[in-house]
Amino acid sequence: MSSASSTTTGAAKPSSTRDKPANKWEAAADWTDGRLGIYSLAKANLRKIFPDHWSFMLGEICLYSFVIIILTGVYLTLFFKPSMGEVIYNGSYVPLKGIGMSEAYASTLDISFEVRGGLLIRQIHHWAALVFVAAMLVHMMRVFFTGAFRKPREINWVFGFLLLVLGMFDGFFGYSLPDDLLSGTGIRFMEGAILAVPLVGTYLQMFLYGGEFPGHDIIPRFFTIHVLLIPGIMLGLLVAHLILVFYHKHTQWAGPGKTEKNVVGMPLMPVYMAKAGGFFFLVFGLISAISAIASINPIWAYGPYRPDQVSTDAQPDWYMGFSEGLIRVMPGWEISLWGHTLNLGVFVPLMIFPLVLVAIAVYPFIEGWITGDKREHHILDRPRNAPVRTALGAAWISLYLVLLVGGGNDLFATHLHLSINSITYFVRVGFFAVPVIVFIITKRWCLGLQRRDKEKVLHGRETGVIKRLPHGEFVEVHAQLPQKDLFKLTAHEQTQPVELPAQTDENGVARKAGALTRTRAKLSRGFYGEGSQIPKPTAEEHHEITSGHGHH
Where in 80-119 is the site for other proteins (CB under 8 A)? Answer: 93-99, 112-113, 119
- Nearer to other proteins among residue 175 and residue 439 (C-beta): 175
Q: How many residues bind other proteins (CB under 8 A)?
A: 74
Contact residues for 278 (Cβ-Cβ < 8 A; gap 6+):
none
**Chosen residue from 178, 316, 364, 537 binding other proteins by CB under 8 A:** 316
Q: Return the closest-CA partner of residue 345 out of 321, 368, 329.
A: 329
Q: Is residue 124 part of the contact set for other proteins (CB under 8 A)?
A: no
Q: Report the C-alpha gap between 210 and 218 in whole angstroms.
A: 7
Q: Is residue 279 part of the contact set for other proteins (CB under 8 A)?
A: yes
CB-CB contact of 276 with 151 (8 Å): no
* Residues 468 to 527 in contact with other proteins, rule: CB under 8 A: none
CB of 263 to other proteins, least distance (A): 15
E strands within 402-441?
none
Cis peptide before 214 (omega within 30 of 0): yes
**Chosen residue from 292, 351, 436, 477 binding other proteins by CB under 8 A:** 292
SS3 call for 523: helix
Which one of the spans 21-29, 132-140, 228-236, 474-482 is the region binding other proteins (CB under 8 A)?
A: 132-140
Q: Is residue 32 part of the contact set for other proteins (CB under 8 A)?
A: no
**Chosen residue from 408, 430, 497, 537 binding other proteins by CB under 8 A:** 408
**Chosen residue from 271, 359, 447, 521 binding other proteins by CB under 8 A:** 271
CA distance readout (Å), 539 to 382, 391, 452 = 20, 29, 17
Q: Is residue 204 part of the contact set for other proteins (CB under 8 A)?
A: no
Q: Return the closest-CA partner of residue 551 out of 485, 474, 489, 483.
A: 474
**Chosen residue from 53, 221, 428, 536 binding other proteins by CB under 8 A:** 53
Q: Is residue 52 part of the contact set for other proteins (CB under 8 A)?
A: yes
Which one of the spans 199-207, 297-305, 351-359, 497-505 is the region binding other proteins (CB under 8 A)?
A: 297-305
DSSP H or E segment with residue 162: helix 154-176
- Nearer to other proteins among residue 111 and residue 370 (C-beta): 111
Q: Is residue 60 part of the contact set for other proteins (CB under 8 A)?
A: yes
SS3 call for 340: strand
**Chosen residue from 82, 160, 231, 303 binding other proteins by CB under 8 A:** 303
* Residues 170 to 189 in contact with other proteins, rule: CB under 8 A: 181-182
- Nearer to other proteins among residue 130 and residue 196 (C-beta): 130
Q: Is residue 318 part of the contact set for other proteins (CB under 8 A)?
A: yes
- Nearer to other proteins among residue 122 and residue 150 (C-beta): 122
CB of 94 to other proteins, least distance (A): 6
Alpha-carbon radius of gyration of the chain: 30
Dihedral (CA of 44, 46, 51, 57) sign: positive
**Chosen residue from 191, 317, 381, 453 binding other proteins by CB under 8 A:** 317
- Nearer to other proteins among residue 300 and residue 396 (C-beta): 300
CB of 160 to other proteins, least distance (A): 17
- Nearer to other proteins among residue 297 and residue 524 (C-beta): 297
CB of 200 to other proteins, least distance (A): 30
Q: Is residue 238 part of the contact set for other proteins (CB under 8 A)?
A: no
Q: Is residue 332 part of the contact set for other proteins (CB under 8 A)?
A: no
Q: For residue 547, is it left (φ>0), alpha (ψ between -120 and 50) or beta?
A: alpha
Q: Is residue 29 part of the contact set for other proteins (CB under 8 A)?
A: no
DSSP per-residue string spanning 190-258:
HHHHHHTSTTTHHHHHHHHHTSSSSTTTHHHHHHHIIIIIHHHHHHHHHHHHHHHHHHH---B---TT-
- Nearer to other proteins among residue 115 and residue 342 (C-beta): 115
Q: Is residue 302 part of the contact set for other proteins (CB under 8 A)?
A: yes
Chain centre to alpha carbon of residue 541: 41
Q: Report the C-alpha gap between 430 and 370 in whole angstroms.
A: 29
Chain centre to alpha carbon of residue 18: 49
Which one of the spans 222-230, 253-261, 418-426, 488-496 is the region binding other proteins (CB under 8 A)?
A: 418-426
CB of 60 to other proteins, least distance (A): 8
Q: Return the closest-CA partner of residue 381 out of 452, 448, 446.
A: 446
CB of 195 to other proteins, least distance (A): 21
Q: Is residue 288 part of the contact set for other proteins (CB under 8 A)?
A: no
**Chosen residue from 102, 107, 288, 297 binding other proteins by CB under 8 A:** 297
Residue 160: how many other CB atoms lie within 10 Å? 23
Phi, psi of 76 (to 5 degrees): -65, -35
Q: Report the C-alpha gap between 211 and 221 in whole angstroms.
A: 13
Cis peptide before 537 (omega within 30 of 0): no
CB of 99 to other proteins, least distance (A): 5
Q: Is residue 268 part of the contact set for other proteins (CB under 8 A)?
A: no
- Nearer to other proteins among residue 6 and residue 424 (C-beta): 424
Q: Is residue 61 part of the contact set for other proteins (CB under 8 A)?
A: yes
- Nearer to other proteins among residue 82 and residue 325 (C-beta): 325
Residue 76: how many other CB atoms lie within 10 Å? 21
Q: Is residue 340 part of the contact set for other proteins (CB under 8 A)?
A: no
DSSP per-residue string spanning 88-129:
E--SS-GGGTT-EEEHHHHHHHHHHHTSTTHHHHHHHHHHHH
Q: Partners of 100 in the beta sheet?
A: 88
**Chosen residue from 6, 30, 57, 378 binding other proteins by CB under 8 A:** 57
CB-CB contact of 412 with 423 (8 Å): yes
Q: Is residue 295 part of the contact set for other proteins (CB under 8 A)?
A: yes
Q: Is residue 229 part of the contact set for other proteins (CB under 8 A)?
A: no
**Chosen residue from 156, 409, 442, 532 binding other proteins by CB under 8 A:** 409
Q: Report the C-alpha gap between 174 and 71 in whole angstroms.
A: 15
